Every structure is written in C-alpha cells, then in structure tokens.
Amino acid sequence: MDTRKKIHFILNPISGSGKNKLNKKLVRGIFPKQEYDLVLKTSKQKKEAKTLATESVKEGVDVIVACGGDGTINEVATALVDTPIELGILRFGSGNGLASNLNIPKKLKHALLVIKHQHTTKIDVGVINHHYFFSNTSIGFGAELIHHYSKTTRRQFGSYLSAFLNAFVKHRGASEVSISFDNQSETITPFILFISNSNEMGYNISLTPEASLKDGKLDLVYIKDVSLWKKIALARLMLLKQLTSSQLAHYHTTQALEISSIATSSFLVQIDGESRRLNAKTLTVGIKPKALSVIVPKG
C-alpha cells in the first residue's frame, strides 16, 4: 500500500508573465520521492484548472497546489470547498491579492517549504449566485476595469493601470440597482459596488483594508455615481489605498445581501479578478464560514 502523501500541482502557464514553469528539480528536492507522490497538471485554457482540480479530488489527493494568480486559485479552490483536501498556493500570477493576504512567500522555494510544513487554516468562502469567490467580487467600475484587463496579453501592473484608465475613460454611468442587507435597502446608481472577503484586491491595492478571511462576514463598499472630477479624486484615492478616507464611500459588513437590477436582466461582474456576465436580474451574495482549508506560513 502506498502511504506517500499525494500532492497535485495545477499550473496555469499563462498567469502573470505568461511564461510559467515549475522547476521540477527544486520541487523534487523538497518533496523526496520516497515520501511524496507528486503529479503536475497544466491547464491549457480558461476554466480547465477547475476540471483538473475536480479530477484530482476524485483521485484521492491530500493537497492540491494552485500555481497561478487569483483566477487560477478560484478555479482550483472551487473544487475544494467543503472537502478535507488542503489548498496550497504558488504565486505565479500578477495581482496575487489572496496570496498576499495569506502571507504566501513570493520566492518559489520558500512557498514550497510552506506547503511541505503543511500548517493549515480555515478561511471563509464568498458566494455570488452559486459562484464562489475567495477574495472579492464587484459590479460597476471594478467589473469594467477587469473586463478591459482581461483583454490584455500581459498580466502586469502596467497593463492593470492601462485597463484602469481605459475603464475610467469609457465609463458612461452605471445602471440603477437596489441593495438589500440586514433589514435595510437602498436604491442607488453605483460608480463602485465592491464586496470583499479579503483585505487586498491585488497589486497591493485595497478598498477594504479591515476585511478578514475568518470573521464570517463580507465587507461591502459602495460609492454612488458622481461627477467626473469626483471620480478622478476617487481614482487617486483607490490607487493610494486611501478610499476609506472619502465621505463618499459607504462601508458595511454583512453575512448576506441582494443586488437587484432596476432596468436590466444581466450583470457584468468581476469574480476574483476574472470578468463574467451573469444572466440574472438579482445577485444573491452570501458567505460560507471557514469552508476552505489553506496551507499558510506558520505564525
């Protein structure tokens, strides 16, 4: 009977720089063959990482390591929610918001040693219309930004900044929505409507610096549509991580909320840095407390 620990690595070769490779010699040096059964799987297209992770779950692994950015982590982690299988992370992406919040080392060797030591923690999982998110989701300007960013070939900060400016210039106003949470409701036309489980959205930018992965709550921030000059001022505050200082930003924590469109029957959303179109008049957002086991640095 093979008693070796089974670890599967799922690599997105086009995350971040677009030239990702896993140093097999380094990996095997840290995980000797007599103790570990290692398998490397490489995704060749979007959404395939989730399929590969689901197959690995059925194969009875102990650990699945997502090698990529927030989008890759989302795909892999989605297959692990409510299972005993642990998620490891190698930072091959660009924004790396969730990995940064979890203090995953940037250097490959150090991150591999974290996985080997296998110190785990349980984190909350966000849900939006049956889609999981582990870092954040948004509509309005944030979704438009990621929509433009997804069209770039190089996932780096320069591309992110270009997408930010592109979305800003092309922003033509949002659709009116009704937000309901904690026995209160409000109808607004949002410039930004951002829901976060993590305290960072990537590239060391944060709209919700007080958010926690373990408090069983989501952090909601919304800003009503404002004049062009106020948007420029808000954009500066966002890039400087000072949005909380603006009186235009409304902050709340909640376990569940609904966002209903007044005029349209679909939403452009971003989920963990990936753009999606959800065909629904209402978005139902909630949280599954401590539903995912993640390997993190000890202490």
Calculate mean pLDDT across residues 56-82.
96
Instruction: Name residues whose C-beta falls within 8 Å of residue 95's C-beta, 6 or more positions apart in sequence.
Output: 69, 70, 155, 160, 201, 202, 203, 273
3-state secondary structure 108-176: HHHHHHHHHHCCEEEEEEEEECCEEECCEEEEEHHHHHHHHHCCCCCCCHHHHHHHHHHHHHHCCCCCC
- Which of 278, 242, 286, 276 lies closest to 261 in space, CA to CA? 278
- Which of 55, 115, 105 lies closest to 80 in space, CA to CA? 55
The kind and range of the H/E element at 48 are helix 48-58
Provide Rg for the chain, Cα atoms.
Answer: 19
Calculate mean pLDDT across residues 194-215.
90
CA–CA gap between residue 152 and residue 169 (Å, rounded): 17
Instruction: Name residues whose C-beta falls within 8 Å of residue 58's C-beta, 6 or more positions apart in sequence.
Output: none
Segment among 48-52, 83-87, 110-114, 142-146 with least mean pLDDT: 142-146
Residue 81 has pLDDT above 80, yes or no: yes
Place of tokens 């150090």: 110
Contact 65, 53 (CB under 8 A): no
CA–CA gap between residue 263 and residue 260 (Å, rounded): 9
Contact 146, 274 (CB under 8 A): yes
Residue 299 has pLDDT above 80, yes or no: no
> What is the Cβ-side half-sphere exposure of residue 70, based on CA atoms within 13 angstroms?
29
Pairing of strands 36-42, 5-11: parallel
pLDDT tens-digit profile of 241-278?
788 889 999 999 999 999 999 888 899 899 998 889 99
CA–CA gap between residue 78 and residue 128 (Å, rounded): 13
Calculate mean pLDDT across residues 55-70.
95
Residue 17 has pLDDT above 60, yes or no: no
Angle at 192 between CA 231 and CA 202, to 5 degrees: 100
* The pair of three-digit structure tokens given for residue 207, joined into one six-digit string: 């709209």
pLDDT tens-digit profile of 171-184?
655 689 999 999 99
CA–CA gap between residue 201 and residue 155 (Å, rounded): 14
Calculate mean pLDDT across residues 209-227.
93
Ramachandran angles phi, psi of 158, nearest 5°: -60, -40
Place of tokens 């979704």: 143
| pLDDT value for 66 | 96
* Domains and their CATH numbers in the chain: 5-118 (3.40.50.10330), 131-289 (2.60.200.40)
Confidence of residue 170 (pLDDT cuts 50, 70, 90): low
Residues above pLDDT 90, as percent of the chain: 64
